[in-house]
Amino acid sequence: MDTQGDVLMQRYEIGKLLGHGNFAKVYHGRNVTTGMSVAIKVINKNKVLKAGMMTHIKREIAVMRLVKHPNIVQLYEVMASKTKIYFILEYVKGGELFDKLAKGKLKVEVARKYFAQLVSAIGYCHNRGAYHRDLKPENLLLDDEGNLKVSDFGLSALVETKRQDGLLHTCCGSPAYVAPEIIDQKGYDGAKADIWSCGVVLFVLLAGFLPFHDSNLIEMYRKITSARFRFPSSFPVEAKSLVSRMLDPNPVTRISITGIIEHPWFTTGSVSDPLTKSETVVSSSGYRLEQQQQTVPSGVNCNAFDIISLSRGLNLSGLFNESCENEEEVRFMLKKSASIIISKLEEIAMSLKMRVVKNNEVFLQMESLTQGKNGYLVICFEVFEIMPNVHLIEAGLVGGDKFEFREVMNEHIKPTLSV
């Protein structure tokens, strides 16, 4: 049993209980070596297994490892015992945005700041092929400097969890924030569903109450599917068109992340951590990528834990008594600069007649132009700097056949890069 004062695996002292749910408890913790505060999420493994939720836990780990952004709660480490799984997370001590809203609506500039940071984080997730699917003020935390941090990726999804129709089908999310296409259960675009939820959040920030609310859940769902809501008289005029376009019941015509960033209300005034202009790219595999142009140094520095956690010998699937073999990820190290690695990847893509989508100096995506037996092959590459001129290359299968992925990696990518 984990109690206050215990030291977890000789590394983290467990402090007071911060909160709890059906499968997990969250404690304040302290790194006994550095003294740094952390949040320790303790998951009951037996409860998760009995509820058939282990896939959700594994997906949460995968998504949180994938998304590293200043407005997303950072996952530092994952550990496990026979009965429990431990997430060591960034400690965000400012509380939930929900608590701030309990006092009423926010000032326009404060709301704009939080909304800009939310859009920055969610746009980044979408660009990495990850969808949150449970955005609400309770899952938006504030740090001690007043910056927003997106948390709780327990209901998140990745591109590869889509079916062959390119859509997600799991009905999830919080009723008041859920998109109408999820209620209709006809399949939905995860990015568009997240944008709807962001629209509800923006309405709440500026109005102080929910746009869709009814004591009768069925009636509330009717309001959501027809987008029946009213702006209060105090609602900023310039923001009405943006919220209306985000709360468009038709996901096809609903505004994109690019449209949000370019909207006059979003660009008005001084917003901390401003976003640069984005471009929308429709890939050959048929899904939409919202590409945020971010300033990234030539190579992302990894600390010792990052390197260890990426090691195949410590693959997290081993926590769940399954094979450590991962047929959808490949990692290897090279003594070459990031620019040379990315340049060689572009040359390889050209020789294989694959399309290239570049986001920055260390992230690249290859997409086949012809459809294979399991769709279009899509591979994402990210380059991490371990030390000067030594880089870790992480390649992940986003779409297509895993055997074709292995063939391309083993016969083309790795041999060519190694030369």
Q: Which residues are catalytic?
A: 134
| CA dist., res. 61 & res. 294, Å (int) | 24
Whether the Cβ atoms of residue 201 and residue 115 lie closer than 8 Å to each other = yes
Helix H segments across 285-363? Answer: 304-310, 338-351
Gap between the Cα atoms of 225 and 213, Å rounded: 13
329: closest CA among 412, 392, 418, 406? Answer: 406
3-state secondary structure of 202: helix
Find the angle CA(56)-CA(61)-CA(62) to the nearest 5 degrees.
95
The DSSP output letter for 312 is G
User: Per the annotation, where are the binding residues for ATP?
Assistant: 41
Q: Facing residues of 334 across strands? A: 391
What is the DSSP pairing of strand 378-387 with strand 300-301?
Answer: parallel
Q: Which two tokens stand for residue 90?
A: 């960034």
**Number of Cβ within a 10 Å radius of residue 1:** 6
